Amino acid sequence: MGKTKVSNAIIRRLPRYRRYLGYLQTKGIKKISSNELSEMIGYTASQIRQDLNTFGEFGQQGYGYEVDRLYKEINKILGLDREYKTVVVGVGNLGQAITNYTYYYKIGFNIIGLFDVNPKIVGNVINDVEVMDSADLEEYVRREKIDIGIICVNRENAQRVADELVAGGVKGIWNFAPIDLDIPEGVALESVHLSDSLHALSFMIKRMNEEAAE
């Protein structure tokens, strides 16, 4: 399976499938056809069948998908059937929110280290984890074999933090700093650019106002 080329687009679609299947589970729904999934998610049924066929045979023609089984399989595909040792760097407002968020949805992303440069924050305890000094980040990441680093520092410090995480040996970085990080091949990078998202919203509002004014 490793050789299968997986497009960037499918990386975006798979978590959505998981999200909808999780929702169906909470509703007690046991099976669903690709047409029904299509109606919920908004992708075509053939797109859905094709996506899922990339990873195996999960459906049965004329029957559809078993929700529980498909949910479990998608968890496996997404790498959610294991645990990730995770650190958060930058424990300001956003860092704390992300820490709490990840803690709350505990599904394998175990935050075992928090780091900050601010001496007023170092030593604080959040969800049973003490905030450490960022100066010790790289060594800690190496020693504890950290899998994922979550970057919640400002733009000026984000690349340096990323370099330290990479030097320490992380496998992936979840970046919230408003910068496109330079990361070597072999390390996964996923960024959440909140300001880009907010500005996309204001842009859409502006376009709608202009259209309404015509």
Binding site for a second copy (CB under 8 A): 1-3, 6, 11-12, 14-16, 18-19, 23, 41-42, 77-80, 84, 93-94, 96-98, 100-102, 104-105, 108-109, 147-148, 155, 171-174, 178-180, 186-190, 192-214
> What minimum distance in Å lies between the beta carbon of 64 and a second copy?
21
> What minimum distance in Å lies between the beta carbon of 178 and a second copy?
6
Sheet holding 84-89, edge to edge: 125-126, 129-133, 109-116, 84-89, 148-151, 172-175, 188-191
Which CB, 135 or 208, lies closer to a second copy? 208
Count of CB atoms situated within 10 Å of the CB of 103 = 16
Which CB, 10 or 45, lies closer to a second copy? 10
Q: 108-140 burial string, b = 16+ CB within 10 Å, else e?
A: ebbbebbbbbeeebbeeebeebebbebeebbeb
> What minimum distance in Å lies between the beta carbon of 76 and a second copy?
9
Which CB, 119 or 186, lies closer to a second copy? 186
> What minimum distance in Å lies between the beta carbon of 204 and a second copy?
4
Which CB, 69 or 193, lies closer to a second copy? 193
What is the C-alpha to C-alpha distance for residues 148 and 126, in angstroms, rounded to an integer? 18
Which CB, 135 or 194, lies closer to a second copy? 194
Tell me if 126 sits within 8 A of 95, measured CB to CB.
no
> What minimum distance in Å lies between the beta carbon of 112 and a second copy?
16
One-character DSSP codes across 145-201: T--EEEE-S-HHHHHHHHHHHHHHT-SEEEE-SSS-----TTSEEEE--HHHHHHHH
